[in-house]
Chain A
Amino acid sequence: MSLAELICPAGTPAALRTAVDAGADAVYCGFQDATNARNFPGLNLTPDELAASVVYAHAHGTKVLLALNTYPPAGKLDLWRHAADTGARLGVDAFIVADMGVADYIAHAHPQVRLHLSVQAAASSPEAIRYYCESFGVKRVVLPRILTIPEIRQIRKEIPCEIETFIFGNHGLMVEGRCSLTNYLTGQSTNMDGVCSPASDVEYVRDADGSMSSQLAGFTIDRFGPDEKAGYPTICKGRYTAPHRPEGYYAFEEPVSLNLSRLLPELIDAGVHAFKIEGRQRSKSYVRGVVRAFRAAVDDIKAGRKANIADLLALTEGQKQTQGAFETKKWR
Chain B
Amino acid sequence: MTKLTLGPIAYHWSAEARSDFYARIADEAPVDDVYLGEVICSKRAPFHEAELPATIDRLERAGKRVILSTLAEVMLKRERKATDDLAGIDAPEIEINNAAGLFARGRRPHRIGPFMNAYNEATIGWMAARGATHVCLPSEMPAPAIAVAARAANDLGLGVEVQVFGRVSLAVSARCYHARAHGRTKDNCQFVCEEDPDGMPLRSRDDQPILRVNGIQTQSESYLDLLPETPQLVADRVTHLRLMPQRVDMVAVAQVFRDAVDGRLSMSEADARLAALSGDARLSNGFYHGAAGYRRIAMAAPV
Residues of A within 8 A of B (CB): 71-77, 98-102, 104-105, 121, 123-128, 130-132, 134-135, 144, 146-147, 151, 173-175, 177-181, 183-187, 189, 191-192, 213, 217, 219-223, 236, 238-245, 248-249, 251-253, 325, 329-332
Contact = CB atoms under 8 A, between A and B. Distances in A.
B203 A175 contact: no
Interface string B47-62: 0000000000000000
B176 interface: yes
Q: Which of A74, A183, A189, A329 has the most CB of B within 10 A?
A: A74
B292 A75 contact: no
A184 B247 CA distance: 22
21 contacts: A71-B120, A72-B122, A101-B119, A101-B122, A102-B122, A128-B100, A131-B102, A134-B103, A135-B126, A175-B73, A175-B173, A178-B72, A180-B171, A180-B293, A184-B294, A185-B293, A220-B205, A243-B201, A251-B202, A325-B174, A331-B175
Contacts of A135: 126
Contacts of B220: 184
B121 A329 contact: no
B174 A242 contact: no
Contact of A74 (B80, B148, B168): B148
Interface in B100-132: 100, 102-104, 115, 117, 119-127
Given A76-B145, A144-B174, A251-B177, A184 B292 contact: yes
B139 interface: yes
B99 A128 contact: yes
B292 A242 contact: no
Interface stretch (B5-13, B179-187, B250-258, B265-273): B179-187
Interface residues of B, number: 75
A240 B203 CA distance: 6
Nearest to B84: A127
B120 A184 contact: no
B287 interface: yes
Nearest to A211: B205
Contacts of A128: 74, 98-100, 103
B185 A180 contact: no
A240 to B, nearest CB: 4
A294 to B, nearest CB: 25
Nearest to A173: B173
Given A77-B122, A146-B174, A248 B146 contact: no
B171 A181 contact: yes
B138 A191 contact: yes
B290 interface: yes
Interface string B78-95: 011001100000000000
B111 to A, nearest CB: 16
A243 B199 CA distance: 11
B142 interface: yes
Given A131-B100, A180-B168, A241-B207, 9 more contacts: A75-B144, A179-B171, A181-B218, A187-B295, A191-B138, A192-B145, A217-B292, A251-B177, A331-B185
Contacts of A243: 200-201
B290 A332 contact: no
Chain A, interface SS category: mixed
B182 A244 contact: yes
Contacts of B171: 174-175, 178-181, 236
A128 B218 CA distance: 23
Contacts of A181: 170-171, 211, 218
B99 A180 contact: no
A331 B173 CA distance: 11
A127 B145 contact: no
Contacts of A126: 80
B291 interface: yes
A248 B149 contact: no
B205 A248 contact: yes
Contacts of A240: 202-205, 210-211
A127 B104 contact: yes
Interface string B141-163: 11011111100100000000000
Contacts of B186: 329, 332
Given A147-B75, A184-B294, A131 B99 contact: yes
Contact of B205 (A71, A72, A144, A239): A239
Nearest to A223: B205
B210 A219 contact: yes
Interface string B23-67: 000000000000000000000000000000000000000000000
